[in-house]
């Protein structure tokens, strides 16, 4: 595996081993970052249950332990990624310079020296950034997720499934009887039509029509 890392990152054996150490350091740092979340979960659980008496020492020691673990893992992560990567970058540049020194002058006569120099420096810069920022963080996160998934998945499979909720009484009740509402609606229609007839009769009387004409018109 070290040889494959050497070939992929154009690094020495020490640089490949340093990259592996940086990945492991990032994984442990991510795990240490999750410890305060678990401690906060326990604190909130005890607060909701009202059983925080006598556990203040536990939480104080837990906070100190989380701080120390985060400090140590961050120190190892910084040394395993940035310090090792930039040290390997210096070795890589010296190796490239030594390789270019051994090339014949005809090689440089057929190429643009400015373009060759900029290409080599750009490739070295990309490798520096990948090995210090992206590769350790990416594979460290994957290792952390895999470790937590492998430890929590068996427990989750053994957890009993919750029972299905029973249907409520409102869902089992029969459809309400709408007959009284329909009856009241028909009665309101009859009253409205009677009111319209009375209003028409009043308007006819006011206009001077005879009573028999009013009755025939209704």
pLDDT tens-digit map of 151-204: 654 444 444 444 545 555 444 555 555 566 566 666 666 666 666 777 676 776
The rounded percent of the chain whose pLDDT value lies above 70 is: 72
pLDDT on residue 56: 86
Nearest CA among 60, 78, 72 for reference residue 31? 72
User: Is the pLDDT at 121 greater than 60, yes or no?
Assistant: yes
pLDDT for residue 36 = 93
pLDDT in tens, 11-26: 888 889 999 999 999 9
Predicted model pTM:
0.63
Select, from the ranges 35-49, 99-113, 167-181, the one with the highest average predicted confidence (pLDDT): 35-49
Please name which of 68, 67, 71, 80 lies closest in space to residue 25, comparing C-alpha atoms. Answer: 80
Query: Does the CA dihedral 54-60-62-65 come out positive or negative?
Result: negative
Q: How confident is the model at residue 39 (pLDDT cuts 50, 70, 90)?
A: very high
Report whether 132 contacts 101 (CB < 8 A).
no
> How many C-beta neighbours within 10 Å does residue 30 have?
20
Q: What is the pLDDT of residue 161?
A: 44
Gyration radius (Cα) of the chain, Å: 42
| Mean pLDDT of all residues in 46-52 | 83
CA distance 93 to 124: 8
Q: Considering only the C-alpha atoms of the chain, give the largest distance between any 2 of them, rounded to a whole number of Å.
A: 131
Query: Could you tell me the pLDDT band of residue 72, with boundaries at 50, 70 and 90?
Result: very high
Q: How far is CA 55 from the centre of its chain?
A: 32
């Amino acid at each position: 595996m070290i040889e494959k890392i050497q070939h992929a990152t154009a690094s020495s054996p020490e640089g490949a081993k340093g990259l592996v150490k940086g990945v492991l350091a990032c994984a442990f740092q991510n795990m240490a970052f999750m410890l305060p979340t678990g401690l906060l979960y326990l604190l909130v659980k005890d607060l909701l249950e009202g059983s925080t008496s006598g556990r203040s020492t536990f939480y104080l020691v837990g906070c100190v332990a989380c701080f120390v673990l985060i400090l140590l893992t961050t120190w190892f992560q910084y040394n395993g990624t940035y310090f090792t990567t930039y040290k390997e970058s210096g070795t890589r540049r010296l190796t490239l310079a030594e390789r270019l020194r051994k090339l014949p002058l005809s090689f440089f006569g057929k190429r643009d020296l400015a373009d060759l120099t900029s290409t080599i420096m750009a490739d070295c810069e990309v490798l520096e950034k990948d090995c210090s920022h992206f590769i350790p963080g990416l594979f460290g996160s994957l290792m952390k997720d895999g470790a937590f998934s492998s430890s929590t998945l068996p427990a989750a499979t053994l957890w009993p499934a919750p029972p299905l909720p029973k249907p409520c009484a409102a869902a089992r009740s029969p459809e309400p009887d709408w007959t009284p509402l329909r009856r009241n609606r028909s009665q309101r229609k009859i009253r409205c039509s009677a009111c319209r007839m009375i209003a028409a009769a009043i308007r006819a009387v006011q206009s001077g029509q005879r009573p028999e004409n009013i009755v025939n018109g209704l």
